[in-house]
Amino acid sequence: MIEIPSHKLPADLLTSVIEEFINRDGTDYGDREVSLKEKIEHARIKISQGDVILTFDQETESCNLLSKNDFIEITQKL
């Protein structure tokens, strides 16, 4: 698993990766309905703050969003 520096991706590609992740894994925001646009913006903020890492898994050939802590934990096991 490798980290993909999000600032090196064109904005539209980053948006597509985030959207695909949200649609694939789904998210639960409780009682309040949250639009896809809001979810994407929330993910962008977390990525820009360094709380969420964009990764590429060579085995599955897929991109994922992981919390910084999860990324550290997974990469330390490798």
CB neighbours of 78 closer than 8 A, spacing ≥ 6? 1
pLDDT at 25: 66
- Residue among 69, 44, 43, 62 at smallest CA distance from 2: 62
pLDDT at 8: 94
pLDDT at 12: 95
User: For residue range 23-36, what is the model confidence (pLDDT) as tens digits?
Assistant: 886 656 566 788 88
- Residue among 41, 36, 66 at smallest CA distance from 51: 66
**Regions of the chain short of the pLDDT cut 50:** none
pLDDT at 26: 61
pLDDT at 31: 67
